[in-house]
Amino acid sequence: MLENIVFIELKRRGKNIFYHSNKKECDFIIKEKLTIMEAYQETTSISDITVKNREIDGLIEALNIYNLSQGYILTEDDEDELTISNKRIIIYPVWKWLLSV
C-alpha cells in the first residue's frame, strides 16, 4: 500500500516514473525530459538490517548508474540521513514527504 501511495503522489506531481532493475532494484526513477533527476526507494521500515541493506544497495546502484548525488528512502516512520560512497541518502517518513511540496 505504501508503494502505491508514493506512486500516486509522484504521478500527481507530474513526474515521469520508471523502475530500475540491474543487479539490484530501485522502486522509482524520475526522469525529466531526457535526464534522470531523482531516485526513490520505499519500505515500511528499515529497522530490519536485511531490509535496510537491500534498500540502500538498490538505491546506491541506481545513484551510481544515473550519476545522481542523492536519493530517498521513504518509510512509515524512520528518519535519518546517511552518506555512503559519497552519495547522500535521505530517509524520510512518507507522511512528511507527502506534505513537502
**Which tens digit of pLDDT belongs to each residue from 41-99?**
999 999 999 999 999 999 999 999 999 999 999 999 999 999 999 999 999 999 999 99
Q: For the chain, give the mean pLDDT.
A: 95
> Looking at the domain covering 2-99, what would its CATH class be?
alpha beta
Q: In what order do the strands lie in the sheet with 80-84?
A: 16-21, 25-32, 35-42, 70-75, 87-93, 80-84
Q: What is the pLDDT of residue 67?
A: 97
Domain boundaries, the chain: 2-99
Contact predicate 36/68, CB 8 Å = yes
Q: What is the pLDDT of residue 76?
A: 95
Q: What is the mean pLDDT of residues 7-25?
A: 95
